[in-house]
Structure 1
């Protein structure tokens, strides 16, 4: 038999997979789930860790939430044509909320999204393996780390720490301390109050920091790109801004 000739069973299997792939059509979208699941988790502690994989996250500091209760809404859409049925799980383990999506097989197409509503007065740490993260409304400390996904934070005043291995970072906040770093992606910070400290870095991407009118101690560097600092500078200022990238433009400017 020629080395280019496949056995009949292999050809049949390949044909079956091709038909199944064609039948799946467009990729799954969590937004197609019109009947999401909802669950309330009891929580006692000062810091909640949200540990998620393969899911988009929306995290909200909610005034209306009862003390000691974390509200979670889950959207899921997907199928596995050849392999085990997809499975989504959620549980609270001490101070850690674990959100898991299991979807694997020869032809697997799944998407999930979680919205987590956290009572005021609780700091939040987020660890996401794969998926975008959106957060808003935090007065307490917020730390977000993702291996693959963008991060967006808005309407927050507490200390902010953002890290992504592969994804852009955006923050439109009134935080006085902000740290933002990504290995691959741009960083954009729009600050509504004069910060005490801003530390931002990208290995591969532009960095933009917009600041209220004030005088700042600024360090701005790019190994391969333009550097534009247009805010008033004073090396004795207590308001420190460090902005660096290895490849891309750096801009530190006064907000409009």
Structure 2
């Protein structure tokens, strides 16, 4: 009896290891969700806060969205071998959109993605615990923070504040004020108009800034890396550019 029980225990353990390996090898992807959920929320004011714990986010300002409405599309895939069923939730109150994912247990594998469409004229703040963030089309201020993930922004003219705890930051915009920070990752900024102020700071990663032809007051600093500044410099200029990194090269150049 004891030997039989031991054999069964070993077989069960081996089966669990095989199952764990198989599930982890597959890897859940929200892109595999062919039937995403959709919901519209009523926006009362002219500001929106997106509070997400674990999701890739795409945020778009569009004139096609009705005034006073936030349209959200959600893709989700997940599995838990042993434990509660995975699930995602969304809620909206006081112009704050809260997105949550519950995925815990033995061999938990989940993936979520949200596309958030907001009307023009809305300033947006993003607080993402874990996930990449993409945004485009904003004419109003945009403030993005993700603790773990990349940030990509395009086609914006409003003031930008972009922060990642662990990930790269990219922006191709016509904003006059851009502040980009990452603790671990590279920063690439391309400005379509002469900015009033650009700040780019990386704890560990290269920094590149491409600017329209003009004179700039430029301040740079690298703990370990080369620095190359080719834009015309003028310490009395009202157009200020600051680029710093703890470890990596810095390039500040004029667009071709």
TM-score range relative to shorter protein: over 0.9
Question: Deviation of residue 13 (structure 1)?
Answer: 4.3
- The reply to whether residue 14 of structure 1 matches residue 13 of structure 2 is yes
In 2: Cα distance, 1:244 partner to 1:11 partner = 56
TM-score, normalising length: structure 1: 0.95
Deviations 1:165-187 (CA, angstroms, capped at 9, x unpaired): 10000000000000001100000
Question: Deviation of residue 223 (structure 1)?
Answer: 1.1
Deviations 1:28-86 (CA, angstroms, capped at 9, x unpaired): 11110011000000111121000011110000001111111000000001111111100
Question: Deviation of residue 21 (structure 1)?
Answer: 2.1
Is there any run of 5+ residues in structure 2 with no aligned partner, and where?
1-5
Deviates more, 1:21-30 or 1:246-255: 21-30
In 1: Cα distance, 2:22 partner to 2:233 partner = 61
In 2: Cα distance, 1:128 partner to 1:185 partner = 17
The number of residue pairs the alignment matches comes to 251
Deviations 1:12-32 (CA, angstroms, capped at 9, x unpaired): 442232232244242011110
- Say whether the 8 Å CA contact 1:155–1:173 is kept in structure 2: yes
Aligned to 2:175: 175
The correspondence of residues 58-97 of structure 1 with structure 2, limited to 5 A, is 58-97=58-97
TM-score, normalising length: structure 2: 0.95
Question: Deviation of residue 10 (structure 1)?
Answer: 5.3
Question: Deviation of residue 94 (structure 1)?
Answer: 1.1
Is there any run of 5+ residues in structure 1 with no aligned partner, and where?
1-6
Aligned to 1:39: 39
Aligned to 1:4: none
In 1: Cα distance, 2:20 partner to 2:226 partner = 46
Aligned to 1:209: 209
- The reply to whether residue 253 of structure 1 matches residue 214 of structure 2 is no
SS of 1:208 mapped into structure 2: strand
Indicate the RMSD between aligned Cα atoms, in angstroms.
1.4
